[in-house]
Amino acid sequence: MSAATQPLGGRVTTQTIINAIKNNPIVVAIALLVIVTSFVEPKFLTGDNFDNIVRQFGTLIFAALGMTFVIMAGFIDLSIGGIISLVAVVTVTLIDPIGQGPAILVGVAVGLGCGLLNGALILTSGALTQAEALFITYGMSLVYGAVALMYVQGVTQFLTYSKTDTSLFDAINSGGVGILSVSAIMFLISLAILYVIQRRTYIGRAVVLTGGNKIAARLAGIPISRSIVLIYAISGMLSAIGAVVLVSRVTLADPTMGTPYMTQAILAVVVGGTALIGGRGSVIWTVVGTLLLILLNNSLNLLGVSSYVQFMLRGVILILAIWLDTAKQASVGR
């Protein structure tokens, strides 16, 4: 049993920790890098750097949480980059006409609609494999990105140029209750809901069974079609929330700003231990994977590693994580 499938409520023993380390060498490697950075670079343990890490956490974690359900069901969603870009520009441009609150709601509704459209396209096309879903959602990412570009004519929209109140975005970025920002509270609420759905409901079990074996799930009476629509709706809506958090942090909306999150979300989910072939995963461990990925990026930046090398390392980590997971599945099947 991998770390991603360990019962969170069970007793944690020394053997459990040892098994988690053995099953997650990438997690161990990133953790060691973070430890080394904390000794080599004094800025790593400062309050300003911690604040920077927390701010980077926002958008990626929402996208990764949605991606977790998609991958657990044996599919993939490459459209989230386009969705984030589209939601961002729509939200910012609607602030003056209808106000900040309604603009955010419309933006989230756009993300949900994109997710539902993805699910509908996959169902109507009969695409029941991850490869088919990959190409369909990649195509939809191009569509959403193109719509975002046409909507604003390729012009970056600045939140600070809004003539009406934008205090809600300020609150999402830095305001809140005590030490928690509104975005942090949104994350905790989303995580709690998704955890309950995954671990305590029939819907969550249906998603996992769909990813494990679609034919067996169908024979067992699992509503495959409903599961597909649900996972893409969740992914679209959470990507939209991530877009709102991103706009609040950078105070602008660019029609291409969501592109990097497409691969980063997949990497965070895989590093967190979710099986890329589906049938196994955990939203809690996705949080761990996301945090480790952000810490990795932060450590490399503080150590002065070139951005080109960082891109290469992310690719190597993703390939290595997939290779290790595939090798693990093959050894279990023997």
Reported as a pLDDT band with limits 50, 70 and 90, residue 10 is very low
User: CB-based contacts of 86: which residues, under 8 Å, 6+ apart?
Assistant: 110, 114, 144, 145, 147, 148, 151, 255, 258
Q: How far apart (Å, rounded) are the C-alpha atoms in residues 59 and 190?
A: 13
| 154-186 residue pLDDT tens | 999 999 888 888 889 988 888 766 667 788 889
Number of H helices and E strands in the chain, helices first, is 15, 4
- Please say whether the beta carbons of 68 and 281 come within 8 A: yes
| 109-144 residue pLDDT tens | 999 999 999 999 999 988 778 888 999 999 999 999
**CATH number of the domain residue 249 falls in:** 1.10.3470
| Other C-beta atoms lying within 10 Å of the C-beta of residue 292 | 23
| 28-87 residue pLDDT tens | 777 787 788 888 888 888 877 877 777 778 899 999 999 999 999 999 999 999 999 999
More confident residue, 175 or 308: 308
Q: Token pair for residue 253?
A: 């909306």
Q: How far apart (Å, rounded) are the C-alpha atoms in residues 63 and 213?
A: 25
- Looking at the structure of the chain, the number of domains it has is 1
Q: How far apart (Å, rounded) are the C-alpha atoms in residues 303 and 318?
A: 21
- Is the model's pLDDT at 312 over the cut of 50? yes
- Please say whether the beta carbons of 227 and 206 come within 8 A: yes
Structural domain of 55: 3-333
- Measure CA 323 to chain center: 21
Q: What is the pLDDT of residue 5?
A: 45
**Cα–Cα separations (whole angstroms), residue 323 to 26, 55, 68, 316:** 11, 31, 18, 10
Task: Annotate 95-120 with b (16+ C-beta within 10 A) or e (fewer).
Answer: beeeebeebbebbbebbbebbbbbbe
53: left (phi over 0), alpha (psi -120 to 50) or beta: alpha
pTM value > 0.75: yes
Q: How far apart (Å, rounded) are the C-alpha atoms in residues 192 and 283?
A: 9
Reported as a pLDDT band with limits 50, 70 and 90, residue 329 is low
Q: How far apart (Å, rounded) are the C-alpha atoms in residues 173 and 235?
A: 22
Q: What is the pLDDT of residue 288?
A: 87
Q: Token pair for residue 53?
A: 């890490």
What integer best gives the mean pLDDT of the chain?
A: 86
| 184-243 residue pLDDT tens | 889 999 999 999 999 888 888 889 888 888 888 888 888 888 889 999 999 999 999 999
User: CB-based contacts of 193: which residues, under 8 Å, 6+ apart?
Assistant: none
Reported as a pLDDT band with limits 50, 70 and 90, residue 272 is confident
